[in-house]
Amino acid sequence: MVNYNLTVFEAKIDLCCVKILFVCEYNACRSQIAEGLARALLPENFSITSAGIYPGELNWVTIEVMKEIGIDISTQRSKLLAEVLDRRFDQVIVLAEAAWRAVEMLKTDHKLLWPFPDPACDPGDAEAVKGRIRRVRDQLRERILTL
C-alpha cells in the first residue's frame, strides 16, 4: 500500500534506508554511544535510533567522552523502547542482557546481542567512570565497523 502523504524525500528514505536500533536499559550511555558512533561511521543511507527499556537521561560523562573523539551527542535524547514499537527495523542490536526479552515484540527478523556492562553505573571517581565509558566506546566502535 502506498502512503501518498509522504514527501519524495521521506519516501526515498523509507524505501532505501537500512534502519538500525540500539537498545540498552536506560538509553543513557551504551546505546547513546552506539547511536552517535553509527551515525558518524556508517553510510548516510543508514537510519540510526537508540532506545531504553526504562526512562533515563543522557549521561553527561558520556557526552564528554564522545566529544573526545569529535562526536557530539549532546542533542540526542533518551527514548523509551515504547516510542519505537510501531517502527520496523532491519537490525536491532541489544547492548544489555536485561533488555533482550524486551525486544521480542519489535518488528524485525534480525536481532543481535552485544552485551556490555553499564560503564556508568559502577561506583568510582569520575576518571574511573570515564575510563570504563571510553573502553565501551572503543569496543562499540570496532563492532559497528563490522556492520
User: In this predicted structure, what is the pLDDT of residue 8?
Assistant: 40
For 28, the 3-state DSSP assignment is: coil
pLDDT higher at 121 or 32: 32
User: In this predicted structure, what is the pLDDT of residue 73?
Assistant: 98
Residue range 95-100: mean pLDDT, rounded: 96
Q: How far is 87 from 107, CA to CA, in rounded Å?
A: 7
- 66-84 per-position pLDDT tens digit: 999 999 999 999 999 999 9
35 phi/psi in degrees, rounded to 5: -60, -45
Q: How far is 99 from 2, CA to CA, in rounded Å?
A: 34
Q: How far is 133 from 122, CA to CA, in rounded Å?
A: 11
Please list, in sequence order, all residues whose beta carbon lies within 8 angstroms of the beta carbon of residue 84, skipping any fewer than 6 positions away: 21, 49, 51, 106
The three cell numbers of residue 106 are 519489535
Residue range 12-36: mean pLDDT, rounded: 88
Task: Give the C-alpha distances (Å, rounded to integers) separating 29 from 20, 39, 59, 118.
Answer: 17, 15, 6, 8
Kindly provide the b/e burial profile for residues 112-134, where b requires at least 16 CB atoms within 10 angstroms of the residue's own CB: eebebebbbeeeeeeeebbebbb
Is 119 within 8 Å of 29 (Cβ atoms)? yes
In the chain, the domains with their CATH numbers are 8-144 (3.40.50.2300)
Q: How far is 75 from 6, CA to CA, in rounded Å?
A: 26
Q: Which of 137, 100, 131 is nearest to 115 (CA)?
A: 100
Answer whether residue 125 shows pLDDT above 80.
yes
For 93, the 3-state DSSP assignment is: strand
pTM given for the model: 0.88
Is 117 within 8 Å of 135 (Cβ atoms)? no
